[in-house]
Structure 1
Amino acid sequence: MAQVCDSQPAIVLVRPQLGENIGMAARAMLNFGLTDMRLVSPRDGWPNPSAGPAASGADVVLDKAAVFDRVEDAIADCHLVFATTMRGRDMPKPVMTPREAARRMRSALTDGQKPAILFGPERSGLTNDDVTLVDSVLSVPVNPDFGSLNLAQTVVVTAYEYAQSYDATPSVRPAHEDGLAPKEDLIGLMQHLEDELAARGFFRSEDRYGAQRRMLRNLLQSGSFSAQEVRTFRGIVKALTRPERGSENDRF
């Protein structure tokens, strides 16, 4: 789970145009534990009344946002700076994915260095002068025939990759919070079912008994049952094999 951390990259929005987009960017940041927002010459000034509603509760990001007149001032305390852009640049800058940039930012933070990511204005993006100030270009690998991402989308992709670079959440979580049933319980269910089926003539051919038994066990094994599910299954078997009320067996 992403958590707010004091040691984190700065998200620098360069000349953002709409308060709504600043708010949505703040929301995307806080989703992944980032709170260091820096604004460079926001078109409509700051604070912007449209940003709060769009942030959907990410007020801590907006309240802490620092405003600068120049990109140079916004990144003055940073050591490693990336520029997000899709346009080709005639500059000797390495181009990398958000995932690789995230890995490098984590490494920089470990070394006590401050990284930052520049995001350009919604309509035109970063200028060449902006890009000359960065170390690397960060490019999201999108559909080459439709590479348009809005500001908040770009922020959320890069913030997600940064969070993934240190997140300890397992790739797959089990369906059951209490985990799988121990083999002792599962084998008990297998034996219970086999005994009841044998008593009712299910295994009619001695030649096929082994194959049928293995198939039943594999079916139960593939169910990935929890301990509670095993107990429920055994209860079902008991209910199905219990003599019915009012049957001839009950009368004698």
Structure 2
Amino acid sequence: MKTRFVLIQTSHAGNVGAAARAMKVMGFDDLVLVQPRWPDVLQREEALQRASGAEDVLAKARIVASLDEALDGVDTLCATAMTPRDFGPPTAAPREHLPGLARSAQGVAFLFGPERFGMANEDVYRCHVALSIPANPAYGSLNLAAAIQVIAYEWRQALGGYAVQPAAHEGALADAQAVAGMLAHWEGALVDLGFLDPAAPKKLMPRLNQMFNRARLTPEEIHILRGVAKAMTEAARGRPPRR
């Protein structure tokens, strides 16, 4: 779905770069600036530094002279406003409103006003909804980039989200044979230490087996545990363990 982030009369170049970074993290890259304070804001050093790897979003961004120009190709406008406006659109929390919007809209623009004053009433009035991020009633002031990050995250979730990637070691787990071999090595070492009585082993080895199964060991971890078992045996037999 077409998704656009529109920043109206942004005054701080760093916020533009940080906004690009927040967008890219959630997979969005359509950024439009309406009458920013700095005509060259997309090339300013502070913006590039705060983009921190999202320079491609800045390179693609557009600067326009009016809000009308920023809204071509989108059919649904979402204001971001902490305070409801009289005669304005309904106010809703992003998490409650955005899933329904994801099912019905064809192109969505999220509008953000100047850092100091927020969106002007006339701009809010043209929107279909005013998104208000639930926050501490005593201190609800969000930095522009932080607000963009929250909206971008909630919108990405409404669109289906991203799957959480497994830890790097997952997918390279030790096989059952390797785990069994390591356990046999440990069993011998524990006997050598006198910790395990082979005549009355009770449930020690099955419990260790379950513990190591829960750990989801990698081949490298199996190697480490075998080294520990070897050191235990050498210590039990009176030889100094190898370093």
Measured against aligned partners, the alpha-carbon deviations of 1:62-117 in whole angstroms (never above 9, x if no partner) come to 333333333233224211111111112234634333345553454356xxx21110
Shift of 1:181: 2.0
Alignment partner of 1:69 is 2:65: yes
1:229–1:23 distance in 2 versus 1, CA, 3 Å: closer
Q: Does the 8 Å CA contact 1:24/1:55 hold for their aligned counterparts?
A: yes
d(CA) in 1 for partners of 2:25, 2:189: 53
Q: Which residue of 1 aligns with 2:215?
A: 223
Residues 23 and 55 in structure 1, CA contact (< 8 A), matched pair in contact too: yes
Contact 1:178 1:226 in 2 (8 A): no
Contact 2:193–2:232, Cα closer than 8 Å, also in 1: no
The partner residue of 2:30 within 36, 60, 66 is 36
- In the TM superposition, residue 55 of structure 1 has moved relative to its aligned partner by 3.1
Q: Tell me what 1:87 maps to.
A: 83
For residue 173 of structure 1, what is the aligned residue in structure 2? 166
Q: Is contact 2:88–2:125 with CA below 8 Å preserved after alignment?
A: no
Which position in structure 2 is the counterpart of 1:3? none
Q: How big is each residue's C-alpha offset from its partner over 1:142-165, in whole Å with a ceiling of 9 and x where there is no partner?
A: 222211012111112222333444
Offset of residue 130 of structure 1: 1.2
Give 1:9 shift: 0.8
From 143, 146, 149, give the equivalent of 2:142. Answer: 149
Q: TM-score if structure 2 supplies the norm length?
A: 0.79
The 8 Å contact of residues 8 and 34 in structure 1, kept in 2 or not, is answered as: no
In structure 2, the partner of 1:97 is 93
Q: Which residue number corresponds to residue 15 of structure 1?
A: 9
Q: Quick one: structure 1 residues 179 and 102, their matched pair in 2 at CA, closer, same or farther if it must change by over 3 Å?
A: farther
For residues 58 and 94 of structure 1, the distance between their equivalents in structure 2, rounded to whole angstroms, comes to 33
Q: 2:151 corresponds to which residue?
A: 158
Report what 2:176 is aligned to.
183
- Distance in 1 between residues matched to 2:30 and 2:62, nearest whole Å: 8
Given residue 184 of structure 2, which amino acid in structure 1 is its aligned partner?
Q
What's the TM-score once normalised by structure 1's chain length? 0.76
Q: Secondary structure at the match of 1:78?
A: coil
List runs of 5+ in structure 2 lacking aligned partners: none
Alpha-carbon distance in structure 2 between the residues aligned to 1:57 and 1:193: 48
Query: Quick check: 1:47 aligned with 2:40?
Result: yes
Q: List runs of 5+ in structure 1 lacking aligned partners.
A: 1-6, 247-252
Identical residues among aligned pairs (%): 34
Task: Please tell me whether residue 236 in structure 1 is matched to residue 220 in structure 2.
Answer: no
Q: Secondary structure of the residue that 1:9 maps to in structure 2?
A: strand
Supply the RMSD in Å over aligned alpha carbons.
3.0
Residues 99 and 133 (structure 1 numbering): CA distance in 2 closer, same or farther, change over 3 Å? same
